[in-house]
Structure 1
Amino acid sequence: MFSFLIVLVLVLGLNTILWTTVGGMRVVAARMRRKNAVPERLRAGGPSRDEVAILIAAHNEEVVIGNTIASLAEFGHDINVFVVSDGSTDDTAVIARAHGATVLELSPNRGKAGALVEAIKQFGIAERFEVLLLLDADTHLTADYFETGLGEFADPSVVAVAGRASTLFVPRSPTLMGRLLVAYRERVYIAMQYLFKFGMAARYANVVPIVPGFASMYRTRILADIDIAAQGLKIEDYNMTFEVHAKRLGRIAFHPHAAIALTQDPDTLFDYVKQVQRWNLGFWQTVGRHGFRMRTFWFALTLFIAELVLSSVVLILLIPGVLISTGASTLDELGLDPSGFADDVAGLLPPLALVLGVVIPDYLLSVLAAVVSKRPVYLAYGVVFPFFRIVDALLCMVALFEAVFSRSTGSWKSPSRRPARTETEQPALS
């Protein structure tokens, strides 16, 4: 039982307990305000849509970019769409112009961060607009994205609104492996955003570690203070977020029911590994670049990193541990270990406790994902998700090693895309 509890805590995590509790307190406080007839700050009064510049940095995105821009047209004529085609060798720029976007073409490939810096400068975004929305070429905004997201800026202390990521399920992956990967990614989004990020965004915490670059907003007045294209980083969004905290530029807002956007996730193991490895590497590089500071954000980050590394090691060692423990139990039962060492090993690492300590808390995440996304199939998919957790743990540790011993140029290559359709029917999001 003791071994089971240890593994369960390592897998579930103190961070989960802490930030879920803080998030729960936010919910209770909001309900108490309603009960006592104290009006909440309405999600209104922020900038209007015509004060927002939508900037898409794209590299060889002809398969999806036209559909993405077309989906933005549904918001009306007060939408300002800018595209920077960063060294694209396909028809990305042509398609973007055909759909009404203002386009800047760069050559050679500068990397996403470098492309963003040049586009912000060339389009005069900081001078012309109050808010910058960074959008990926494969991302679609939900109908209430602006209504729910821009209202967060009614609070003058808010300088960034982190978009809530949700998986774009149309077009559907043609393979079972692809559907499992996409479903697993959606579960990761739900777990991280409901159990961690909502609590981290509490007013007196303000320790959100990432404003994701796929569909998030910044006040343009802080852009000059952010080193967007810092050298040696694989991705830009972690660094931009850390810059906000490091320079005390303001508060980062996040709510799981606000600023929701749908993104196309990888549906092949190769593309999944490549994308997750890129994200992990960008995280570790950013941590290395900024170091530690005596501030709340860095204390929260340190706790997260310590638990991330520990849980990754536990997951990586899980299968070898179960095999060793099972082998020791077998030797003991057959009476082939007169020294009693095998019995000691089996008692220290009970195979059933090791497995259940991972499977039970992990499956609870699948139950949460099934409820939130209204997709009961996740209850079946959840049986294999622990194996993807182990893959994630391996990628995390490999990226940590790579971040310590290598440097990145920032150049990028988009993952394989599933051809977009005109209609993107999505299930209702809770």
Structure 2
Amino acid sequence: MFVLYTVIVLGLGTLLWTTVGIFRFVAERRRQKHHNANSTEDSGQTVLPEQVAILVAAHNEDAVIAETIASAAALVPLRNIFIVSDGSTDGTVTVARRADVRVLDLSQNRGKAGALLAAIEYFQLAKRFEVVTLLDADTRLAADYLQTGLPPFADPGVVAVAGRVITSPVPSPTRFGRFLIAYRERFYRVVQLLHKYGQAAVAVNVVSIVPGFASMYRSSALKDIDIAAPGLVIEDFNMTFEVHARKLGRIHFHPKTAIAYTQDPDNFRDYTRQIYRWNLGFWQTVRRHGLHRGRFWAALALQIFELISSSLVLLLLVPFMLVWSAFQIAEMYNVESPAADFFSGVFVPEAILLGVLIPDFLLTIFVAAVTRDPLYLIRGLAFPLMRLLDAGIFITALVRAWFVRSTGIWVSPGRRPQTEHVPSTTTTQGIHKDYAV
């Protein structure tokens, strides 16, 4: 029984994509050795920083927009940085103009997708630049973001480079906030290292999201992507699905490529709102595109099945545990029930421990080892409770997605002022060692 729980909760996808990722890692190491042995070979980098536009959509982000612009300005000329204020009522526009970058001030909140589309058309970014980088207003780019992110575009088949997300080094002032941030960072590490790395293998190409917080698109492909499709609360899932549906090309992802930092919510209200928005956007995109033939759609079907099954299993564990406890109390008083024996065969507490809690904690141990942060081992004891919360939000969003059509109008979560230096290294261990959350 515990094997069944483990497979359902962790998913076959984890085993599948981790295995593919191992093969990809071995192949890349061999190619790297060959390249080192022939160091005179051309790196093939055809896109220069001067050919890159950086576009930031912002709604009431005056607390962080200056640092984001400064981060971008360290990589490209100021004339290559474009800010679209989506109906901001604070000082976002003033701060952006003071930084001497190009600003489009939209009077009404159109939603992030609508704002991006308006700016791309207004500034003619697809015509003027080879690559367009999309950033959130709280994103900080690593110093080598372009140095690592542009070379993949030397392959004409690459249409997008998915940014590697790491939680911002800006700490939360509360213990619970630091716990929430650590939980999100564990999620990022597990998904990107054990899933996305394998999904982005050249022969596979089934990455399901090019995150809108910091990713690059070949500008020639933007005209073929329906960026502001109606009825969606977020844009990045839809843009990624468009790449696959229209067979525009390959999505590149590597843990050491295009690293950027994002602020995750550090309070319960903002966290639940953000997770609900992401899940709702995923299901709305699935509703819009449906499923088709092909590798990506098969991988998506597997992902959907495992997300639903694992969420339902996690949510059912709570009432099952209560019923089991009631049967145990009844047995203490010699009260027999025909259902007790049947239920005991289905719900085995030992199986929960071995099949749910221990595998979940193994993921925490993995992240603690990768980041060299032993605090994960303490915080990880409570992570299963967060997974229960996520499962509830996921199922709620699934149900509502088939009835709710969103305008895309957005409200950013609370921001923490950004003052810390962003590291330039792309080494996962080094980043977290020096800038642990």
Could you state the TM-score of these two structures normalised by the residue count of structure 2? 0.93
Q: Is the 8 A contact 1:59 1:88 kept in 2?
A: yes
- Matched with 1:241 is 240
Q: Which amino acid aligns with 1:95?
A: V
Q: How does 1:351-366 map to 2 (within 5 A)?
A: 351-366=349-364
Q: How does 1:381-392 map to 2 (within 5 A)?
A: 381-392=379-390
Q: Which amino acid aligns with 2:161?
A: V
Unaligned runs of 5+ in 2: 433-437
Between the two proteins, the alignment pairs up a number of residues equal to 426
Pairing 1:180–2:179 present: yes
Q: Of 420, 428, 431, which residue of structure 2 is paired with 1:429?
A: 431
Q: Is the 8 A contact 1:73 1:79 kept in 2?
A: no
Q: Is the 8 A contact 2:158 2:250 kept in 1?
A: yes
Aligned counterparts of 1:362 and 1:395: Cα–Cα separation in 2: 19
Q: Is the 8 A contact 2:79 2:102 kept in 1?
A: no
Shift of 1:24: 0.6
Unaligned runs of 5+ in 1: none
Pairing 1:305–2:304 present: yes
SS at match of 1:383: helix
SS at match of 1:305: helix
Pairing 1:12–2:10 present: yes
Q: Is the 8 A contact 1:16 1:196 kept in 2?
A: yes
Summarize the Cα distance change of 1:374–1:347 in structure 2 as closer, same or farther, 3 Å threshold: same
Deviations 1:191-248 (A, max 9, x none): 1101110111011111100000000000000111000000000000000000000000
Shift of 1:79: 6.8
Aligned counterparts of 1:42 and 1:192: Cα–Cα separation in 2: 33
Q: Of 376, 401, 404, which residue of structure 1 is paired with 2:402?
A: 404
Shift of 1:78: 6.9
Shift of 1:422: 5.8
Q: How does 1:327-338 map to 2 (within 5 A)?
A: 327-337=326-336
SS at match of 1:366: helix
Q: Which amino acid aligns with 1:429?
A: I
Summarize the Cα distance change of 1:136–1:353 in structure 2 as closer, same or farther, 3 Å threshold: same
Deviations 1:357-377 (A, max 9, x none): 211111111112112222221
Shift of 1:344: 2.9
Q: Is the 8 A contact 1:325 1:349 kept in 2?
A: yes
SS at match of 1:183: helix
Aligned counterparts of 2:414 and 2:42: Cα–Cα separation in 1: 40
Q: Which moved more, 1:25-34 or 1:45-54?
A: 25-34
- Matched with 2:378 is 380
Q: Which amino acid aligns with 1:148?
A: T
Summarize the Cα distance change of 1:106–1:415 in structure 2 as closer, same or farther, 3 Å threshold: same
- Matched with 1:191 is 190
Q: Identity over aligned residues, as a percent? A: 54
Q: Of 12, 25, 28, which residue of structure 1 is paired with 2:26?
A: 28
Q: Is the 8 A contact 1:49 1:79 kept in 2?
A: no
Q: Is the 8 A contact 2:161 2:217 kept in 1?
A: yes
Aligned counterparts of 1:335 and 1:43: Cα–Cα separation in 2: 76
Deviations 1:326-349 (A, max 9, x none): 332333344211x44313312321
SS at match of 1:57: strand
Summarize the Cα distance change of 1:13–1:39 in structure 2 as closer, same or farther, 3 Å threshold: farther
Q: Is the 8 A contact 2:79 2:101 kept in 1?
A: no
Aligned counterparts of 1:354 and 1:422: Cα–Cα separation in 2: 42
Deviations 1:231-270 (A, max 9, x none): 0000000000000000000000000111110000000010
Q: Which amino acid aligns with 1:253?
A: H
SS at match of 2:227: coil
SS at match of 1:133: strand
SS at match of 1:336: coil
Aligned counterparts of 1:411 and 1:130: Cα–Cα separation in 2: 29
Q: Which moved more, 1:226-235 or 1:411-420?
A: 411-420
Shift of 1:76: 5.8
Q: Which amino acid aligns with 1:155?
A: D
Aligned counterparts of 1:384 and 1:307: Cα–Cα separation in 2: 22
Q: How does 1:104-253 map to 2 (within 5 A)?
A: 104-170=104-170, 172-253=171-252
Deviations 1:145-167 (A, max 9, x none): 11111111111100000001100
- Matched with 2:61 is 61
Shift of 1:323: 2.0
SS at match of 1:212: coil
Aligned counterparts of 2:44 and 2:356: Cα–Cα separation in 1: 43
Q: Is the 8 A contact 2:142 2:422 kept in 1?
A: no
